[in-house]
Structure 1
Amino acid sequence: MSPIFSKTIFNELRREGTLCDAVIRVDGVSFKIHRIVLCNSSMFFRELFCSLSPPSEHQVFSFSQVSPIIMSLILDFIYTGSVLVTEENVLELLAGAECFSVQGAVNACCHFLEQRLNIKNCVHIWMLAEFHKCPKLRQKAYLYVLHHFKEVAGFSVKFLQLSVQQLGDLIEQDELNVKQESTVFEAVQHWINYAPQERQGHMATLLSKVRLLFLPSNYLVETVINTDVVRKSVSCMTLVIDAMRTLRESNLERPLTRARLPSAVLMTIGGSERESLTDRMDFYDVRANCWLAMESREKALRVLHGCVFLNGFIYCIGGTDLLNILSSVQRFDLVSHNWQELVPIHKPRKCVSAVALNGCIYAIGGTDGSEQKLAERFQPEDNRWVMIAPMLECRSDACAVALDGKVGGAEDFNGAIESIWCFKLFSDVYKEGIYF
């Protein structure tokens, strides 16, 4: 019997009140349930029911932690595997699901909140995720705050309610996404001014985490030193004076200090220079408005390859070394700067279209001298390429993108095809879209 069929049967029995062996009561509302079903989805209920010795039939369990509406939603999830999460119920549902250890419902709430992260709610969601022990959601919200720091500091009321430890943790991160370090100082000043009597004593702690050496000397003199809370603190003045002395005495254009890392970069990998292959890799720093070289410990020489980013790695697929058309696949680790050889694609080809979606990589089309319609899917955890349904027509050097859970693309190497195709992941079927 399939799990879906089983859930359907159990839910029908629950609605009919058939074979139920316990009752949950919330604020005068009773819910007939099957203990074995609740035990399957919740450690809370498993421990509760198994602690009864001997278990009595139709025992009533009363709870006051949630409302009847939320308990009904939790039971719906336990019996059906799905729940309707809305803006109105998500916070209460998350609290209830966490209280009763219904992890699937917790995950549904976290997914709902993750999809709705914005500059006004990200701090609140970060705090909620921390309180309810949802590490994945907490990390997503935390990174959202880091990557949108200027906007969050300016528009989020919850930002002003952060503790000094939480704010200090944010502003000391290399990943804090700010174009100018003055944004960090002004955010700290804004936080202090929200409750000056309580917070001015924290200025030295927070100022020590601002990268003062990234501030222009005139800003230090005209703005930082002229801030009342800085001028009245010996510790703050010492930090600023030391920074000014370092800036004045340094022979470097910018004294050595840890840089803030951009949250996103544009990379170029391989290719050819003057008709010769190159293993050169460069990345564009949008904040500094400049291109920088990235070092690699090994050489990866190829051109006309598919290239895609997934989970901290850059994958180079197929291509040519100017002598042979390649089936090899290499992966570059952005942390260790090492290349790793992976299992090859099924057929050597260049000008292959590559795109990542749902943790997998799709290599589509390309040419080995003649254009191809074949398509493959790579599953990183298995290091395995799987053939999927071929395209409706041959294409190479096409543009491929992922959107709304689908893979699609347009245009041929010869620029002669105007159609757009779309591949549905769960049906392995291509569908042609509208023309340009």
Structure 2
Amino acid sequence: MLCGDFHESQMVQTGGAVNIDASGGAVAAFLDYIYGKETCIETLETTDDQVELLKLASSYGLPNLAARLASEWQASLDSASALKLLPHIWTHSEFSDLADSCEQQILDDFALCVESADFLNLTAGQLGRILQRNELHVAREETVLQGVFKWVGASKAERTCHLELLLQNIDFPSMSVANLKHLSRFAQSAGAAGPGLSMDVNGALRLHRKRQADGSSEKPAKKTLFEALVPGFRR
């Protein structure tokens, strides 16, 4: 690493320090593995260390270590670790199965995930993919909208441009009339996302009025095979 074509070799040749972007715990476990010691994610103290060790294994061409760590993650994955892990493995095709498992964990515990600080580290693409999935499990669609606004609000300057597209994944007719009226007022000051939001909200309000006139409280059909097999498990 210090003598070949790696970036670290270039640092040595120019007299600079060799920096490895990882914690001491992750680097120690990485070196232990190289020198023959058994390494697994349970030996690391924090989830951050575990994620960093996985990144080191991928960056420095140790596929066996990366595969072992990914397998261990699969066996112990929960929504908290899924939120931490997904942004780091998103661009690595060898972790596509693990990324899919992370998405599924977030889908199953979306309301809990929205309250986590790590939810804000998702990219627009990652959040959009999750919102598009019909098996997203929430008791109220308002929770999904809360997640979108919270994510955008964490960095308005960079993320407001994504708001219009993310809002297209909201099932507005599932929301209460009172909240739709609040959204109708908000749309007037929502910038570029306002016109589309206003149209969606007004359409949902019209559907509410129609259902009330028809004496029906049924939600609009947005069913998948999964939802049909599991009654009540719907967005």
- TM-score, structure 2 as length reference: 0.71
Percent identity over the alignment?
A: 19
Aligned to 2:198: 237
Aligned to 2:44: 87
Tell me, in whole angstroms, the C-alpha distance in 2 between the residues paired with 1:159 and 1:261: 28
Aligned residue identity for 2:109 = H
Aligned to 2:222: 258
- Are the structure 2 counterparts of residues 197 and 68 from structure 1 closer, same or farther at C-alpha, using a change threshold of 3 Å? closer
Flag structure 2 segments of 5+ consecutive residues without an equivalent: 10-19, 21-26
Secondary structure of 1:121's counterpart equals helix
Secondary structure of 2:90's counterpart equals helix
- Does the 8 Å CA contact 1:213/1:257 hold for their aligned counterparts? no
Flag structure 1 segments of 5+ consecutive residues without an equivalent: 1-25, 28-59, 266-281, 289-436
> Following TM superposition, where does structure 1 have runs of at least 4 consecutive aligned residues deviating by more than 6 angstroms?
260-263
- Are the structure 2 counterparts of residues 171 and 104 from structure 1 closer, same or farther at C-alpha, using a change threshold of 3 Å? same
Tell me, in whole angstroms, the C-alpha distance in 2 between the residues paired with 1:164 and 1:218: 28
Work out which of the residue numbers 91, 99, 123 in structure 2 matches 1:163: 123
Aligned to 2:102: 141
Aligned residue identity for 1:106 = A
Residue 259 of structure 1, CA deviation: 4.0
- Are the structure 2 counterparts of residues 91 and 191 from structure 1 closer, same or farther at C-alpha, using a change threshold of 3 Å? closer
Aligned residue identity for 2:112 = E
Q: Does 1:225 align with 2:189?
A: no
- TM-score, structure 1 as length reference: 0.41
Aligned to 1:131: 91
Tell me, in whole angstroms, the C-alpha distance in 1 between the residues paired with 2:223 and 2:198: 23
- Are the structure 2 counterparts of residues 69 and 208 from structure 1 closer, same or farther at C-alpha, using a change threshold of 3 Å? closer
- Are the structure 2 counterparts of residues 230 and 239 from structure 1 closer, same or farther at C-alpha, using a change threshold of 3 Å? farther
Tell me, in whole angstroms, the C-alpha distance in 1 between the residues paired with 2:77 and 2:29: 25
Higher strand residue share: 1
Aligned residue identity for 1:253 = S
Aligned to 2:232: 285
Larger Rg over CA atoms: 1
Tell me, in whole angstroms, the C-alpha distance in 2 between the residues paired with 1:195 and 1:259: 34
Aligned to 2:16: none
| Higher RCO, Cα 8 Å, sep 6+ | 2
Tell me, in whole angstroms, the C-alpha distance in 1 between the residues paired with 2:225 and 2:147: 18
Work out which of the residue numbers 157, 163, 176 in structure 2 matches 1:216: 176
- Are the structure 2 counterparts of residues 131 and 283 from structure 1 closer, same or farther at C-alpha, using a change threshold of 3 Å? closer
- Are the structure 2 counterparts of residues 225 and 231 from structure 1 closer, same or farther at C-alpha, using a change threshold of 3 Å? farther
Aligned residue identity for 1:137 = L
- Does the 8 Å CA contact 1:230/1:236 hold for their aligned counterparts? no
Higher helix residue share: 2
Q: Does 1:74 align with 2:34?
A: yes
The alignment of Structure 1 onto Structure 2 pairs a total of residues equal to 208
Q: RMSD between aligned alpha carbons?
A: 3.4
